[in-house]
Amino acid sequence: MNLVEPALQTATRLTHAGRKGKVHPGPVNPPIVRASTMLFPDVAALNNACGTRRVYGRHGNETTHALEQALCSAENAAGCMLTPSGLSAITTTLLALLQPGDHLLMVDTTYDPTRLFCDGLLKQIGVTTTYYDPLIGRGIAALMQKNTRVVFVESPGSLTFEIQDIPAIAAVAHAGGAVVVSDSTWATPIGWDSFDLGIDVSIHAATKYIVGHSDALMGVILTNEALHERVRNTYRQLGITIGGDDAALALRGLRTLAARLAVHRDSAQVVARWLQQQPEVAEVLYPPLEGCAGHELWKRDFKPEYACGLMGAVFRADITEQQVAALIDRTRLFGIGFSWGGYESLILPTKPSAYRSVNAGQWQTPMLRLHVGLEATEDLLADLAQGFDALRKTSEPQPARNYLKAVV
C-alpha cells in the first residue's frame, strides 16, 4: 500500500505502511532479503537499473526499502536512511551538514557519545562546537555565529530530561541560515510532529523503541525534502548500510510501537507518581507528568497518547551513592544495563555533571534513570519498594565508588 497518507491515524499508518496491502496476494510481511549481489537478465536490464537503489545490496533491498517507507510514513518525512547504530546516524548526519570552518551549536544535555564525536573527529576536521543550555529558547540568538550551520537539539535532554523550546530555537536557527538536527529517540517517530516544530533532520536510535525488543542495534535518519539528497550523498560515500534481518526486526517492532508506547506511558505515570511519594526522592524527572519540570512545553509540542517510559529521579542531598547502589542491587525486575526502549524495565545510577559544560554544578546529588517496561505496575512498584527498603537499611558510610563512565 506504501502508505504515506497523513489523513490516516498514526496507529493505522504504522500497521500498513511499507506493505503491499490488500490488492497484492501473498504473505502479510515483505520477505526478509539477505543479499549482496543482485542479478540482471541482460545488459539492457542492468543499464535500466543503474542510478536506482536496486543495483547492489549496499543500496538496500526489499526489506530495508519497506522499513524506510514505513518510517517516512510514521514521521511524515521526505526521506529515510538506515544506519547500523543510533550513534552512526548522528555522526553521518553531522558529517553531511558540516564542513571545515563551520560552527555547530550542540545542546549541553546531548547523549554523551555525540559530545565525544564533537570534541573528537569534528574538532579534528576543523568544525567548532559551542554547547548551549537546553533551556535557552530564543536566547540562542546570542550564540549564533556567521558560520553556524547546524543547531542540534535533543529533547528531553539525556539523563536530566529538560524539554527544549524547539519552535523558538528553530526560528532563530533558520533566520541565521542554520538547519536544525534533532536526536528524537525519546519522542520516537510518532511522539510529535517533528517537521512541523521546525526540525529539518530527525534522528532515532531505533535500537530503543522502534526495534523495541532489545535484540538489534540500528539508527534512522529522517529528513525533510530540502536536505535529503545532501545527507544521502554523504551516507552513500561512507558506505553505510544495514542487513535485511535487522530491518525485519525493526519493521516488526514498528508495527506495535503505538500500542507499546501507550502502555509504557501509563505505567511510567504510575511509577513516577509513586517515586514522588518516597521521602528520599527530591524530584522526579518525567515531563509527561503534570507538575514535573518541562510539562507545559511537553504538552504543547508532544502527543499525549505516545509518551515513553524513560525517566529520572533525583535523591535528597543526604542520600549516598551506596544507598542508591543498595536500592538498585535489591530490585529483581529492573535490569541493570545501558540502552532502553525494550519491553523490559531497567535501572541505572547516573551522574550527569560528568558530561556537562553548562550548569554542571546543578546535578550533584545521586540520581537514577529508570526505564519502565511492559511488566504489570503492581509488580514493578513492589520491586521498587524492596529497593527503597534496602536503601533505608543502608546507612553505614562506606568508601566512595566510581559511577560507570559510559552512559547510554
Ligand X SMILES: *Cc1c(COP(=O)(O)O)cnc(C)c1O
Contact 311, 372 (CB under 8 A): yes
For 327, what's the count of Cα atoms within 13 Å in the CB-facing half-sphere? Answer: 29
Which of 13, 115, 149, 208 is catalytic? The answer is: 208
Report the nearest approach of ligand X to the CB of residue 339 (Å): 6
For residues 205-264, which are near ligand X according to CB under 6 A? 205, 207-208, 217, 219
Report d(CA 159, CA 368) in Å as an integer: 8
Segment near ligand X (CB under 6 A), from 24-32, 66-74, 203-211, 274-282? 203-211
- By CB under 6 A, what part of segment 10-29 binds ligand X? none
**Using CB under 6 A, which of 185, 202, 223, 322 touches ligand X?**
185
Is residue 352 close enough to count as binding ligand X by CB under 6 A?
Answer: no
User: Phi, psi (5° rounding) for residue 367?
Assistant: -135, 160
Burial tier of 277 (Cβ tally within 10 Å: 0-12, 13-18, 19+): exposed
- Shortest CB 184 distance to ligand X, Å: 8
| Contact status: 86 vs ligand X (CB under 6 A) | yes
| Of 301 and 321, CB closest to ligand X | 301
Residue 314 one-letter amino acid: V
Measure the CA–CA gap between 2 and 17, rounded to whole angstroms: 5
Segment 316 to 345, residues that bind ligand X, using CB under 6 A: 339
The strand ranges marked E within 224-277 are none
Comparing CB distances to ligand X, the nearer of 173 and 310 is 310
Q: Any contact of residue 350 with ligand X (CB under 6 A)?
A: no
Pick the catalytic residue from 20, 54, 58, 303: 58
**Beta-bridge mates of residue 81:** 221
Regarding 92 and contact with ligand X (CB under 6 A), the answer is no
Q: Tell the burial category of 290 from Cβ atoms under 10 Å away from its Cβ (0-12, 13-18, 19+).
A: exposed
Q: Is 74 in the site for ligand X (CB under 6 A)?
A: no
Min. distance of Cβ 61 from ligand X in angstroms? 21
Does 272 sit near ligand X (CB under 6 A)?
A: no
Q: C-beta of 288: minimal distance to ligand X in Å?
A: 17
Distances (CA, A) of 21 to 2, 3, 80, 256: 8, 9, 21, 17
Examine the residue annotation and report whether 111 is marked as an active-site residue of this protein.
yes
Specify the residue, 114 or 394, whose C-beta has the smaller distance to ligand X: 114
Our CB check for ligand X shows the closer of 110 and 320 to be 110
Q: How far is CA 259 from CA 220, 235, 313, in A?
A: 21, 32, 26
CA distance 235 to 232: 5
Q: Is 208 a catalytic residue?
A: yes
**Is-catalytic flag, 119?**
no
Interacting residues with ligand X (CB under 6 A): 85-87, 111, 158, 183, 185, 205, 207-208, 217, 219, 339, 408
> Which amino acids are annotated catalytic?
58, 111, 183, 208
